[in-house]
Amino acid sequence: MLEIVEQQHDGVCVASLLGKLDADRVPLFEEWSNRRNDGVEKRIILDFSGLTYLSSAGLRAILTANRHAERTGTALLFCGLGGMTRQVFQTAGLLAYLPVYPGVKEALEAK
C-alpha cells in the first residue's frame, strides 16, 4: 500500500509517503503529483521516512514529478531517506543532484 499524508508546517506543504512506491503504486503517486505540482505551492517537502520500498518505477515517477515541478515553479525538497530508499537514490546517482535533507526540520530551514 501507499499513502500520501499532507501537513502544513509554517505555511510549507510537507507530504509524507507511507508504505511502498513500486510499479503498482506509481499511478497513485502520479495522481497526487499532477494535482499538487500546480505552481500554487512554492515549495513541497517530500518526507520519505515512512517509505519502506522504492523501485525504479517509483524513481522514474519522482524524477518526472521533479521535472514537472521545475516547469511550474514549485521546488521539491526531499528528506527522511533511510535504508533501502537511500541506497536506491545513491545507486541511481541522485543524491548529489536533488535537494536532499536529513529530516523535515532541516528541509524547512533550507533557504
Partner 1 sequence: MLPCAIEIADFEATRYARFSAYAREAAEQAGLPQEVAERLELIVEELVLNIANHGYHGNAGPVAMELHQDGPGIRVRLMDQAPPFDPDAQVSPDCSLPLSERPLGGLGIMLVKGLSDDMKYHRDGDRNVLDVSVRPRVTD
Q: Is 49 in the site for partner 1 (CB under 8 A)?
A: no
* Grid cell for residue 86: 537511500
Q: Is 97 in the site for partner 1 (CB under 8 A)?
A: yes
The H-assigned helical ranges of the chain are 26-36, 56-72, 83-91, 104-109
Positions 6 through 35 that interact with partner 1 (CB under 8 A): 22-24
CB-based contacts of 96: which residues, under 8 Å, 6+ apart? none
- DSSP character for 40? S
Q: Is 42 in the site for partner 1 (CB under 8 A)?
A: no
Which of 9, 42, 60, 105 contacts partner 1 by CB under 8 A? 60
Instruction: List contacts with partner 1 (CB under 8 A).
Output: 22-24, 53, 55-57, 59-60, 63-64, 66-67, 70, 83-84, 87-88, 91-94, 97-98
